[in-house]
Structure 1
Amino acid sequence: MKVRPERIWLGLGMGSLLILTLAYLFVLHHDLREHQRLDALAIHQLVTARILGHLELVRLLPPSAPAYLKGLAWLTDELQGQPLLSGVMVWTKEGPLLNSFPEAISPLAKKLLKCPLELEKDGVFYLCREVRGWPGPGLFILVGVDESFKQDVWREGLLHGLVILAGGVAILLGVGLYLEGLRRKEEKLRETLAESQRLATVGRMAAMLTHEIRNPLNTLSMGVQMLREVGEVRPEILDRMGREIHRLSSLAEELLSLARGIKVDLRPVSLKEVVREALASPKALAEMKGVEIKVSPFPEDSVLWADLRWLVRALENLLRNAVEASPAGKTVELRITVSPEETVFIIKDQGPGISSEDQRRIFDPFFSRKREGFGLGLFIVERVVKAHGGRIILSSHPGRGTSFEVHIPSGGKNHAQSAPHRG
């Protein structure tokens, strides 16, 4: 099942929008986490500086100084002024020195006495570091920073991201529906145009058939009437009637081929036989017009895979057209080249040539510049060549003649195509 391009672009747009939203949320989460760590480090450094300063002061006090001056209890009151600080715990390997965490948090804080440590739990970011430069048996400081407000920031950012995602999806769906509507309108217009073209073709065909059949019938009717009046068989009347009957027969055969389609049965055929049969009728016409058909030497023992009847008919049509286009005393050339890949028939005349405008329509059905042409000959020729898996090339310049190249694949590689093929 073929997926329409607008659906592919819609899917890519939604995927890109989802990726951008996830990237935004990831960056937001990372930034909030980094801010938590920086806040905790700043407070930890502040607490460390205050404690180290106090302990240095204690060393300078005389032994007789009061005990309350040597303790850290005063630090609890001072740190309560920090809006983000949930608590501080200070201890050495000899025992605890300070714990300002609320009673509800203290049991959890005591479980986190591992340094170094960075952990977020229940809206509090815990950071523990060992203080370097402490002369005693080891000094450890654990700070807890309240980050509950950043959870609100995260929820707000998440909501914004979802709103952006939903809005983008709505826009993409709207664009997709709009494009779908345009596509349906385009399909409807194409169907209408195709139907109009079919009706126009039928109209042209009906007009052509009326004209082409009426003229021969009028001639035949006049011939019969003349025979009745004269009372004897006159050769010129019979010749004229025979030509008109041949015209009607050719028209019927071409229309039948057009209706049934071109069926080819590819078999090994002699190139010599193809050329001989294709030249039979055009040679007679050339003699009547005083035109010479010159056939260049070719390998007569060559064999190609083709439908003899259809290929002969196509080449015969091209040769007759070349003879009809050539003035008396001129030459029509037939050159044949054979290679392992293909057999090429080149038919060149010395006629007036074909205009560039007509070249674009030369293979269209019912197109002809001949007064008595049906406009089906070259159309059928092209279909025959394509049914053989080949191609036809037209080269023409006004005043310099016309050349047709028919390329027919040759050799055993086409044996698989020997089954009947519908063009």
Structure 2
Amino acid sequence: MPPASSSSIGRWPQRLIDPTTGLGLTRWFALVGALSIGLFSLGMAWLLSNYLATRMLERDAALSRDFVQSIANIQQVGSFFKDPDGPESKETTEFFAHVAAMPDVLRANVYATNRRVLWSSRSELIGKTFPSNDELDAALRGRVVVHREEEDEEAANKAHKAEHQGLRADVMFVEDYLPVFDQSGKEQIGVIELYRQPDALFAAIRAGQHLIQLGAVAGGAMLFLILVGFVRHTERALQDQRRRLIEAEALAIVGELSAAVAHSIRNPLVSIRTSAELHHELGGEQAEVHAETMRNVDRIEHLVRTLLTYASDPSEHQTSADLAAVLRDAVARFAPELKRQGKQFLIEMPQELGKVAADPMVLAQVFNSLLANAAEATQAGDRISLQASRRGQLALITLIDSGTGIGTAQMQNLFKPFYTTKPRGLGLGLALSQRILKRLGGDVELQSPAGQGTRVNLHLPVTDLPADTTGAAA
């Protein structure tokens, strides 16, 4: 059954012929979104990693400060800090020993409030004063200060900080500046500087940073996939909306054409057909010519009615049609002509199929269009089969012909308005049928391998007929 299918009417705009062209939103979002989400994930991973390292080091320093302060209170070393030139007591010596013995400590320095080194685990630093030290200044104002030496700044820092002398250049360490107060906790008496190498803490920080990085990558990937799925769904919705808008534009054009055609052609057609009927009834040598004239007039009338039907909404009229009766009328119309052409027309249909919420003329247009396509697709000796059945609240109508088929290349264009290969066709047959069926809540499926004929399945929602409704079997 070759519908309007392999070439397009040249004067119609391409946007009416191909309304399903992709918008490319998914492709562009995949590029821009991947870059944006990737940069965001990297930035968040870097910020959270640094925050984790800073907070863990600060918390470790705070615990060290509480430990040092508790030792200072127990040993009562406040007098030594206030008068460092006096004799060193046993308690002070034990305090220094406890500080030096703290876990992971590489070096310990004890500063007075005048920045002088009162004691150090490196004896040559005792008694010295280091004037340029921002961390020490902050600690002398009562703050716990933590400074982590990074690998790329170790050499520079150890070169310009005099108190770093003697430390190995290949060792990564943390500087903790811990303020010490008297027993009342109100007056600061000094600062303890610890150079520590907390390998376990560094390992915990690295493990936490790795988890953050993995979480950022996984979260970014999940966000990207979710957004891509949302964009794809949106793009499909936009394509569907675009198709509907283009169909509306086509309907507006058809409406204008329909009004002009109906006004300009229908009245002359009535006169032509009336004259042809009169001459045909009178008989004569030209009777066959007049019969052909009437057939052509009927064909033009059919094209006009197709235009008017396509421009209207098939569900806007509150009427219903006996589906079996409409099918029998279509069969009665085509059976004689198909028989005259030497084609087999097989019909399998029950007496009742139910009723459809549609105008009988609109529903007949669907069947007439499909049967006309089947007639044009077949030759003498071919077979056309019409089968109808009821399945619950759905009616299934199947039309099969043994014609030439359509082929895969043309299938995607079958239901586009004004797409036709017929020299005298409009390309509205299948487009009209699909539109009517969809608005009635049904659907149409078409299978047509090249050289193997065509099969059309129509699905229509139906309701039961009143009890007194009967019909003759086809």
The TM-score, its normalising length taken from structure 2, stands at: 0.47
**Alpha carbons of structure 1 residues 50 and 275: separation in structure 2 relative to 1, 3 Å:** same
| Counterpart mapping for 1:103-114 below 5 A | none
Quote the residue 1:123 is aligned against. 143
Do residues 338 (structure 1) and 390 (structure 2) align?
Answer: yes
AA partner of residue 30 (structure 1): R
- How far residue 334 of structure 1 moved from its aligned partner, in angstroms, is 0.8
Q: Whose radius of gyration is greater, 1 or 2?
A: 1
**Alpha carbons of structure 1 residues 21 and 147: separation in structure 2 relative to 1, 3 Å:** farther
Do residues 294 (structure 1) and 350 (structure 2) align?
Answer: no
Q: CA RMSD of the aligned region, Å?
A: 5.6
Alpha-carbon displacement from aligned partner over 1:114-133 (angstroms, at most 9, x marks no partner): xxxxxxx95256789x9xxx
**Alpha carbons of structure 1 residues 86 and 322: separation in structure 2 relative to 1, 3 Å:** farther
What 5-or-longer segments of structure 1 have no aligned partner?
53-67, 88-120, 131-141, 149-186, 413-423
Do residues 321 (structure 1) and 373 (structure 2) align?
Answer: yes
Quote the residue 2:357 is aligned against. 306
Quote the residue 2:311 is aligned against. 259
| Counterpart mapping for 1:54-133 below 5 A | 82-83=110-111, 122-123=142-143
| Counterpart mapping for 1:236-275 below 5 A | 236-265=288-317, 268-275=320-327
Q: Distance in 2 between matches of 1:257 and 1:85?
A: 99
Whether the 8 Å CA contact 2:323–2:356 is kept in 1: the answer is no
* Secondary structure, aligned partner of 2:458: strand
- How far residue 238 of structure 1 moved from its aligned partner, in angstroms, is 2.5
Whether the 8 Å CA contact 1:123–1:146 is kept in 2: the answer is no
- How far residue 268 of structure 1 moved from its aligned partner, in angstroms, is 5.0
Whether the 8 Å CA contact 1:264–1:388 is kept in 2: the answer is no
Do residues 30 (structure 1) and 55 (structure 2) align?
Answer: yes
* Secondary structure, aligned partner of 2:397: strand
What 5-or-longer segments of structure 2 have no aligned partner?
1-24, 78-86, 100-107, 116-140, 145-177, 194-237, 465-474
* Secondary structure, aligned partner of 2:333: helix
**Alpha carbons of structure 1 residues 248 and 82: separation in structure 2 relative to 1, 3 Å:** same
Whether the 8 Å CA contact 2:180–2:192 is kept in 1: the answer is no
Quote the residue 2:441 is aligned against. 389
Q: Distance in 2 between matches of 1:145 and 1:280?
A: 113
Alpha-carbon displacement from aligned partner over 1:13-45 (angstroms, at most 9, x marks no partner): 898689657735642551342242254267459
Q: Distance in 2 between matches of 1:313 and 1:359?
A: 22
AA partner of residue 441 (structure 2): G
Quote the residue 1:40 is aligned against. 65
Q: Distance in 1 between matches of 2:404 and 2:345?
A: 17
- How far residue 85 of structure 1 moved from its aligned partner, in angstroms, is 8.2
- How far residue 386 of structure 1 moved from its aligned partner, in angstroms, is 1.1
**Alpha carbons of structure 1 residues 303 and 262: separation in structure 2 relative to 1, 3 Å:** closer
Alpha-carbon displacement from aligned partner over 1:230-262 (angstroms, at most 9, x marks no partner): xx9942343333233223322222222333454
AA partner of residue 251 (structure 1): L
**Taking CA–CA contacts closer than 8 Å with sequence separation of 6 or more, which of the two structures ends up with the larger relative contact order?**
2
Q: Distance in 1 between matches of 2:437 and 2:431?
A: 10
Alpha-carbon displacement from aligned partner over 1:328-355 (angstroms, at most 9, x marks no partner): 2332111112111411100001111112
> Among the aligned pairs, what percent are the same residue?
21
Q: Distance in 1 between matches of 2:402 and 2:88?
A: 124
Q: Distance in 1 between matches of 2:337 and 2:192?
A: 103
- How far residue 402 of structure 1 moved from its aligned partner, in angstroms, is 0.9
The TM-score, its normalising length taken from structure 1, stands at: 0.52
Q: Distance in 2 between matches of 1:26 and 1:14?
A: 18
AA partner of residue 353 (structure 2): S
- How far residue 357 of structure 1 moved from its aligned partner, in angstroms, is 1.6
* Secondary structure, aligned partner of 1:82: strand
AA partner of residue 320 (structure 1): A
